Each structure stands twice: as structure tokens, then as C-alpha cells.
């Protein structure tokens, strides 16, 4: 949302930032990187929190903010619990909602969980739907949303990525060195989604372990999420294995550098599926479904699930089959060219 915040400011809009403070360390560095200051820091997160507890705290905290301010619009993004609750409380206060990254669907209520229903409910509450692609728009139309209120924009994550690539190129060049990966072929991995906790994560790690043991000219770097449900499994299965580098979650600048210079990515992240085409990086998606089928059809991403054998075989094919790698790495980006924030800001200013 940072590029959109700045585009609104450029147009003279009094934009305020409400931060829930999920992942405090990661939030603070991103705000600093993009020169954004939160006007309201709700700080609602708790260790090993339940979704019900989080939802209750968000309802109270966001309601208190809306009682203090007279907003013309509330902008929410994506499919988090904060997005759903923010949209709901805005509705209670009769404030129109603009939903950024609207219309993504996996059509499986439990995968991703709870994100699939978060975004469906956010759509019901939104006044304007900023859909990243034509397919996202079609999903909204199939749910009987008013076509006049759906604007195809691309995704603001591409705006943010390209801003980093263009503005921070010198900083990016030196980052990979500090992880000991200079002139090394390496795979970048992330895994954190709630539906993958437990057995799925264990199976994935065992596939990764076999992969790295068999391909000795590759390294793998894995920024491990702070969630104990992730960290405990990853460290138990992968810690101490040669050529597997486990690190804490990294700043966004570092992550962009790791994406830019890696050979390919193994991840269950939604955002990575959108960013990777702009960097020419194939993505093996650790999920059974994706709300970004455009990435699969464009050829940059492939759904491989979390079975140990599937993880090993699909990654091995990318290592061994040069033509497959080339096809995936030259795929075009279906999620926009970096002008989504301009389109959204213009729509909001002009909306009657």
C-alpha cells in the first residue's frame, strides 16, 4: 500500500495510515524503507493468538479510531483478518470502502485459510473493487458485483517492487554478499501459510532435505517466519544441514535482492507469485490451489503441493531441464506494469 499512500499524498489527499502491527519487526522496517509513518498503531498482536481473539481486538481497536476521525474512504488491501474487520467496521460507521487487490478467489473455503473467506466478505462490504486482473473482475461479476464499481488496476505490489528495483539498485547489489551467496546458485524458499502448518510442512521439509543432499552445486536460503508453528518444524527438520541457510525474516529490501539473484523460488506466498514474473524467476507453489491462476497460466508458476516426492521432483526438473527453466523465466507478468497506484488514486479522487 506504500506506493498508493504516496500517490494520494501527491494529489493532496489527507491519507492516514492505520497499522495493526502484525510482525512488529517486519512492519517497522517496511514503513521506514518507504518513508511511511503510521498515524494509528493498534499493536493488537499477541503471541500464539487465536483468530477469534485477534478479530475481537481488531474490532475494538479499529472502531475506536473511526470514532476519532471523520473519514471519507477506508482503503483495505488483500485478504487478511485486518482487511475483513476494517471493512466491517467501516460499514458499521457507514464509510465507503475501497478494496485493493479485490476479486482473487481459490474457490476453496479452507485453502487458503482464513484468507479465502476474508476476501469474499471484504468484497461484500466494499464500495469500489480494485481488481488486479480481468480474471479477478470476472470473479466479482460472477458474485453479482456492480460492474461500474470494479476497476482493473494491476497490483500495487508490482509498484512497490519496481520502486525498489529502480530506486535502490546500489543497495541491492551488496545484499546477497552478506548471506555468503555471491557467485552461488541458490534457491530462495519461504513457507508460512496457516493451512500448511503441521504435516504438510514436515513433508515439504523432507523433500527439501533430499533435494539439497542430491544437488550439491545448489544452496538454499530460507527466511523462517517468526510463528512458532513454522519455526519449530523448520529448525527440527533442516537446521544444521550443509548448504541450507536458515535466517530470520528479512527486510523487504533484502528479500527483493534475494529474489532478484536466486535461481528460482519455492514458496506458498501469494505475493511472490506476482513479484517473480517481473524478475524472471520461476516459482514452485507449495499449495494445492491458488487465487492467482494467471501466474500458473502465464507459465511463471507451478502448483506442486506439499508432498515430499512432488517437492523433490518438481524442483529437480527445474534444475535439470534447461528448456523448462527458460520457459518459466521469460513468462510475462499478468499482474500489471507498476501503475496500479496511479489508477487507484485517480479513481478515488474522481469517484462520485
313 catalytic residue (yes or no): no
Task: Decide if 274 is catalytic.
Answer: no
Q: Strand locations in the chain, DSSP E?
A: 18-19, 40-41, 74-77, 97-100, 128-131, 150-152, 185-190, 218-223, 244-247, 264-267, 283-285, 301-303
Q: What is the mean pLDDT of residues 279-306?
A: 95
Active site annotation includes 116: no
- Angstrom distance (rounded) from CA 289 to CA 291: 7
% of residues, the chain, pLDDT over 90: 88
Q: What's the average model confidence in pLDDT over 247-253? A: 93
Separation between Cα atoms, residue 135 and residue 103, nearest integer Å: 8
In the chain, where are the structural domains located?
Answer: 2-155+337-350, 174-329
Question: Hey, what CATH topology would domain 2-155+337-350 get?
Answer: Rossmann fold (3.40.50)
Per-residue pLDDT band for 45 (boundaries 50, 70, 90) equals confident
Which tens digits make up the pLDDT trace of 131-149? 999 999 999 999 999 999 9
* Residue 197 appears among annotated catalytic residues: no
Residue in 192, 200, 260, 263 annotated catalytic: 192
**Structural contact between residues 83 and 118, judged by C-beta atoms closer than 8 angstroms:** yes
Q: Do domains 2-155+337-350 and 174-329 have the same CATH topology?
A: yes
| Three-state secondary-structure class, residue 287 | coil
Task: Read off the pTM.
Answer: 0.90
Architecture of the domain whose range is 174-329: 3-Layer(aba) Sandwich (3.40)
**Exactly one of 225, 260, 263, 292 is catalytic; which is it?**
225
Report CA 49 to chain centroid distance, whole Å. Answer: 21
The neighbouring-strand residues paired with 220 are 187, 244
For residue range 191-221, what is the model confidence (pLDDT) as tens digits? 999 999 999 999 999 999 999 999 999 999 9
Please pick, among 6, 57, 79, 135, the residue that the annotation labels catalytic: 79
Name the burial class of residue 350, with classes exposed (0-12), middle (13-18) and buried (19+) by CB atoms within 10 angstroms of its CB.
Answer: exposed
* Residues 98/73, Cβ–Cβ less than 8 Å: yes
- Please give the Cα distance from 316 to 217 (Å, whole number): 12
Region of 15 please: left (phi>0), alpha (psi -120 to 50) or beta: beta
Q: Which of 6, 105, 115, 292 is catalytic?
A: 115
Give the model's pLDDT for residue 183: 78
Active-site residue (options: 57, 101, 116, 268): 101
Catalytic residue flag (residue 101): yes
115 is catalytic: yes
The single residue of 23, 194, 206, 231 carrying the catalytic annotation is 194
Cβ partners under 8 Å of residue 42, min gap 6: 18, 19, 20, 21, 58, 61, 62, 65
Amino acid at each position: 500500500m506504500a506506493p498508493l499512500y504516496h500517490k494520494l499524498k501527491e494529489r493532496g489527499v489527507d491519507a492516514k495510515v492505520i497499522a495493526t502491527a502484525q510482525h512488529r519487526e517486519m512492519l517497522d522496517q517496511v514503513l521506514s524503507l518507504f518513508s511511511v509513518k503510521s498515524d494509528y498503531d493498534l499493536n493488537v498482536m499477541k503471541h500464539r493468538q487465536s483468530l477469534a481473539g485477534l478479530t475481537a481486538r481488531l474490532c475494538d481497536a479499529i472502531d475506536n479510531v473511526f470514532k476519532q476521525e471523520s473519514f471519507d474512504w477506508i482503503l483495505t488491501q488483500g485478504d487478511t483478518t485486518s482487511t475483513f474487520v476494517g471493512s466491517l467496521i467501516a460499514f458499521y460507521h457507514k464509510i465507503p470502502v475501497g478494496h485493493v487487490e479485490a476479486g482473487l478467489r481459490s474457490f476453496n473455503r479452507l485453502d487458503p485459510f482464513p484468507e479465502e473467506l476474508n476476501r469474499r466478505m471484504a468484497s461484500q462490504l466494499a464500495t469500489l473493487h480494485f481488481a488486479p486482473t480481468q480474471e479477478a473482475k470476472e470473479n466479482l461479476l460472477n458474485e453479482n458485483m456492480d460492474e461500474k464499481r470494479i476497476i482493473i488496476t494491476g497490483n500495487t505490489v508490482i509498484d512497490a517492487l519496481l520502486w525498489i528495483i529502480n530506486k535502490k539498485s546500489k543497495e541491492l547489489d551488496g545484499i546477497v554478499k552478506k548471506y555468503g551467496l555471491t557467485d552461488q546458485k541458490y534457491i530462495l524458499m519461504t513457507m508460512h501459510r496457516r493451512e500448511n502448518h503441521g504435516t504438510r510442512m514436515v513433508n515439504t521439509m523432507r523433500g527439501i532435505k533430499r533435494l539439497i543432499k542430491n544437488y550439491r552445486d545448489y544452496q538454499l536460503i530460507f527466511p523462517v517466519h517468526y510463528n512458532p508453528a513454522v519455526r519449530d518444524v523448520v529448525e527440527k527438520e533442516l537446521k544444521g544441514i550443509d548448504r541450507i541457510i536458515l535466517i530470520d525474516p528479512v527486510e523487504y529490501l533484502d528479500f527483493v535482492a534475494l529474489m532478484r539473484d536466486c535461481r528460482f523460488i519455492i514458496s506458498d506466498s501469494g505475493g511472490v507469485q506476482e513479484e517473480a514474473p517481473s524478475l524472471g524467476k520461476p516459482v514452485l507453489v507449495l499449495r494445492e490451489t491458488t487465487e492467482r491462476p494467471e501466474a500458473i497460466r502465464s507459465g511463471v508458476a507451478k502448483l506442486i503441493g506439499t508432498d515430499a516426492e512432488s517437492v523433490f521432483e518438481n524442483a529437480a526438473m527445474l534444475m535439470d531441464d534447461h528448456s523448462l527453466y527458460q520457459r518459466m523465466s521469460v513468462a510475462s507478468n499478468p499482474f500489471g506494469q507498476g501503475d496500479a497506484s496511479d489508477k487507484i488514486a485517480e479513481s478515488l479522487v474522481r469517484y462520485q
